[in-house]
Amino acid sequence: MGSSGFDGRVAVVAGGATGLGAATAVRLGAQGYRVVVGDLRESAAAGTAETIAAAGGEALAVAFDLADPASIAELFAAAGRRFGGVDALFNVGADMRTLRHDTDIVDIDLDVWDRVMTVSLRGYLSAMKNAIPSMLARGGGAIVNMSSAAAFQGEPTRPAYAASKAGIGALTRHVATRWGREGIRCNAVAPGFTATDAIRSAPQWPDLEKAALGRMHSPRVGEPGDVAALVAFLLSDEGAWINGQIVNIDGGTILR
């Protein structure tokens, strides 16, 4: 959408309370988007919206749950009531509580598998299902989905997480091929190790950073602003000829 910003286009960040979602929401607000910050944690979403407003932008915080289709529909209805529709969508939410239980396919509890797929795959599908009609009515739009380097590399753990992220690639290509000629672009970003505030505050941070640097071809680990910059570009008019792609942003961890 708008490369120079300040044109009043509307962006929904589905999972914008903290981390990569918050960093992207703030960047989009600075570029002139009216931002709908959706998250399960309403108070944290409101904090992100307040940061956008304090910088001179316009934002709305909405409590919603990626596991609940009715809640997702209400997120987009709220965007319509406040701003008239949706031009851009960043799907970034996840239930990170499942990661420690996402063991391997022999030991994993199937409820954990189902929860990951419900939030990170069906939830993204539901968000796009609600966004696309609004985008079509407004002449087109752009979507970015959060994938992960885990979609491209084998790991001894996190099979549900990796499978959901690989599935996001398939959904992304589907949307790009189905609606690309009608002006809707859909891409995904696949970050590697990115040092969010939550990761930096972990007691094992020095060891995590050292291990991550050992896997990448970069002098530093990723920062939320790195991912936010890429998402903003893919949503912008400057990214208008990019469609159906999964873009790795991982300091050269995966070379393909």
Catalytic residues: 161
Instruction: Please count the residues of the chain.
Output: 256
Helix, strand, coil fractions of the chain, as percent rounded to 5 = 50, 15, 35
Q: Are 185 and 179 in contact (CB under 8 A)?
A: no
Q: Are 58 and 79 in contact (CB under 8 A)?
A: no
Give CA separation, 18 vs 49, 70, 86, 113, in Å. 11, 23, 21, 24
Q: Are 128 and 66 in contact (CB under 8 A)?
A: no
Within 8 A by CB and 6+ apart from 60, the residues are: 34, 35, 36, 37, 49, 78, 79, 82, 83
Q: At 76, which amino acid appears?
A: F
Strand spans (E) along 112-242: 141-146, 184-191
